[in-house]
């Protein structure tokens, strides 16, 4: 049976109680600020005007996401492949969701709000020391945030070696793309790809 509405979902799950229900905040405070300052990675969720959704990984040294104030974050749009899927979505709908992670910490931080793409020098200047300074920044206006419990990452044992995949036993990006696209492009080794990527971080 396919669950068709919230009423059917609530019949199965009931309602959140206690802190799970009341933990949502409307602005940053010391613990959420501290989480962002220690996070080198987050997943950014956006959607376009037709409702098609997208999730994009974003990474940098801890603190690469700048905190302007209790309601505002600035993210550099690091050099990529120019698909700009997330940026197009933000331009179209202005909505964003973020999931921040810290290696070794099983809790995560969720932030939802509105976003805009900016070339304001005031924001770009925050990232002048980067190897490749960004062309644009993503300015996030926070609407809600909350800490997410550790269960998912504990189940995944994400920070342990339990399910760590040895890279030599996994196909390279080039091999996977060739087979997915039915192409015969000359393959580079994993080491060659890593060295090429390092020049464009």
pLDDT above 90: residue 23? yes
Rg of the chain (C-alpha set): 20
Instruction: Give the bridge partners for 146, in sequence order.
Output: 110
Question: What's the pTM?
Answer: 0.94
Per-residue exposure over 171-197, b if at least 16 CB sit within 10 Å of its own CB, e if not: ebebeeebeeeeeeeeeeebeeeeeee
CATH 2.30.110.10 intervals, the chain: 19-159
- pLDDT score, position 64: 97
How far from the centroid of its chain's Cα atoms is residue 114's Cα? 15
Q: What is the mean pLDDT of the chain?
A: 95
The pLDDT tens digits of the residues spanning 111-141 come to 999 999 999 999 999 999 988 999 999 999 9
The pLDDT tens digits of the residues spanning 164-200 come to 998 888 999 999 999 999 999 999 989 999 999 888 8
Superfamily of domain 19-159: Electron Transport, Fmn-binding Protein; Chain A (2.30.110.10)
User: How many C-beta atoms surround the C-beta of residue 16 within 10 A?
Assistant: 10
The pLDDT tens digits of the residues spanning 49-69 come to 999 999 999 999 999 999 999
């Amino acid at each position: 049976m396919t669950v068709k509405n919230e009423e059917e979902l609530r019949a199965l799950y009931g309602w959140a109680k206690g802190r799970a229900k009341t933990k949502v905040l409307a602005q940053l405070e010391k613990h959420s600020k501290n989480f962002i300052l220690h996070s080198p990675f987050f997943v950014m969720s956006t959607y376009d005007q037709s409702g098609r959704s997208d999730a994009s990984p974003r990474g940098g040294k801890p603190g690469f996401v700048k905190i302007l104030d209790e309601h505002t974050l600035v993210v550099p749009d690091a050099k990529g492949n120019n698909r700009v899927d997330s940026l197009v979505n933000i331009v179209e709908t202005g909505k964003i969701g973020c999931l921040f992670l810290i290696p070794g910490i099983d809790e995560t931080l969720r932030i939802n709000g509105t976003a805009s793409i900016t070339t304001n020098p005031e924001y770009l200047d925050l990232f002048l020391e980067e190897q490749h300074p960004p062309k644009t920044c993503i300015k996030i206006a926070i609407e809600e945030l909350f800490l997410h419990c550790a269960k998912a990452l504990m189940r995944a044992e994400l920070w342990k070696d339990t399910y760590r995949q040895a890279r030599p036993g996994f196909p390279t990006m080039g091999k996977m793309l060739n087979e997915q696209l039915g192409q015969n492009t000359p393959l580079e080794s994993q080491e060659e790809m890593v060295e090429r990527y390092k020049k464009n971080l």
